[in-house]
A = this chain, B = another copy of it.
Amino acid sequence: MAAQLAQQKAKYAELIVRAGLNLQPGQRLQIAGSAIAGVDPHLAPFVRLIAAAAYRAGALLVDVIWDDPRLLPIRLREAAPETLGQHSDWPIAARQEFLDKGGAFLGILAGDPDLLSGIDPKLVSAVVNPLLEAVRPVTARIEANAANWCVASAPIPSWAAKVFPSLPPAKREGRLWEVILQLCRADQPDPVALWLSLGKDLASRAAHLNARQYSSLTFKGPGTDLTVGLPPRHVWLGGQNRAKNGVVFLPNIPTEEVYTLPHRSRVDGSVQSTKPLNLFGSTIEGFRLVFRDGKVTEFAARKGEAHLRELIETHEGASRLGEVALVPASSPISKLGIVLWDVLFDENAASHLALGGAYRDSLKGGGEISEEEFAEAGGNASAVHVDFMIGSSEVDVDGVTAQGTLDPIMRKGEWAFNM
């Protein structure tokens, strides 16, 4: 079993390099945790597998930005509150350096969902908000596909403990590895070929929706009655992307979604979350949002409401939507029936929305226009982008045509149109 796991981890590393990044011979690769975090030191053994795969694929240089997430709660508890806005410039310069040199970017998400539990959300914001603002030029370049990039994930003990609290501690991390490897199809004979095929399926579904150019979507289910306006020239995306360097890549492994641009001022009604959310090391559960003219006008959460308030009230643009995504309730992650407390997995278990910034490429020509023009076209701007799940087997989705008629898109959480 241990040998099988080791073999699958190596296959997963290859998969990330070959199918996710599609790393080119002679290309640099930078590995981090996200745009604002480094890789958790616990993941060193897995990063070594990725580095080996990257060098075998001809990488010019593999560079890793590490970060110990557990230094943050120490800082929040021990440092003088007025110093919390201080941050180093070099982690941002490091990312710019690699983008300037045409490097590919890999983010390995892994977080303790309870890292900052019990800490005043205002203190968290004092550290995180300036950092998110400072890194915006970098995230903009990555989201504009300046180079091929990918986001993947690997277990750390605190995260595994949150997902499998009832397993014996020594079994949790191994179990989370098994689940991740399975969801990423690293247990299959040829996962690279499989992902190329899955990517094509998602692209066809996106192409079908693009051809329809619905003026809005409606979501109906328990606690949910929401209309999400779609701007003219919105683009549905899914599966593979093409970077400006011409490289075709898979930005997320796993991915099960197709997504597009919601209109920043045409969202109305109420929506009930169907899965909990991990937000900067704190959890938010059982929440409900009411939108009017695109803006959140009311919100409530069974747990973590203060964190939800901090998000919505302190970040410009976090009270409007930046993404609407469709995922069938029968997706492999959803069928697993557990909350994985990691956006990469949970967002691929259910249809979802995101509060915050929109992707430029979800509007036709969105990469070539100014911020003002993008906003005018309906695109929201923000330093944050927080996905939250609203889909389930009880939710129906319809597309509203230009003529005002309704086309079924999902029924009971499953695709309701043929291609």
Contacts and interface: CB of A to CB of B under 8 A. Distances in A.
Interface of A: 28, 38, 41-42, 44, 47-48, 51-52, 55-56, 58-64, 66-68, 70-71, 74-75, 78-80, 83, 86-90, 93-94, 97-98
A113 B67 CA distance: 25
Contacts of A87: 61
Contacts of A78: 51-52, 55-56
Given A71-B48, A90-B97, A79 B55 contact: yes
A59 B86 CA distance: 11
Contacts of A94: 88, 90, 93-94
Contacts of A28: 86
Number of copies of this protein chain within its complex: 2
B58 A80 contact: yes
12 contacts: A41-B66, A44-B68, A51-B74, A55-B79, A61-B88, A62-B71, A62-B75, A64-B67, A66-B66, A88-B94, A88-B97, A94-B94
**Residue of A38, A52, A59, A78 ringed by the most chain B CB atoms within 10 A:** A78
A411 B47 CA distance: 52
Given A48-B71, A52-B74, A88 B66 contact: no
Contacts of A58: 80
Contact of A64 (B42, B60, B71, B89): B71
Nearest to A61: B86
B61 A83 contact: yes
A81 to B, nearest CB: 11
Contact of A67 (B59, B62, B66, B93): B66
A52 B90 CA distance: 22
A6 to B, nearest CB: 16
Nearest to A54: B78
Contact of A48 (B38, B44, B63, B68): B68
What 3 A-B pairs come out closest when comparing CB atoms?
Answer: A41-B41, A66-B66, A55-B78
A61 B84 CA distance: 8
Given A51-B71, A88-B97, 5 more contacts: A41-B42, A55-B79, A59-B79, A60-B86, A66-B66
A168 B367 CA distance: 60
Nearest to A82: B60
A55 B47 CA distance: 30
Contacts of A66: 38, 41, 66-68
Nearest to A100: B89
A409 to B, nearest CB: 45
A47 B71 contact: yes
A255 B38 CA distance: 34
Contacts of A80: 58
A47 B62 contact: no
Contacts of A42: 41, 44
Nearest to A49: B74
Nearest to A103: B88
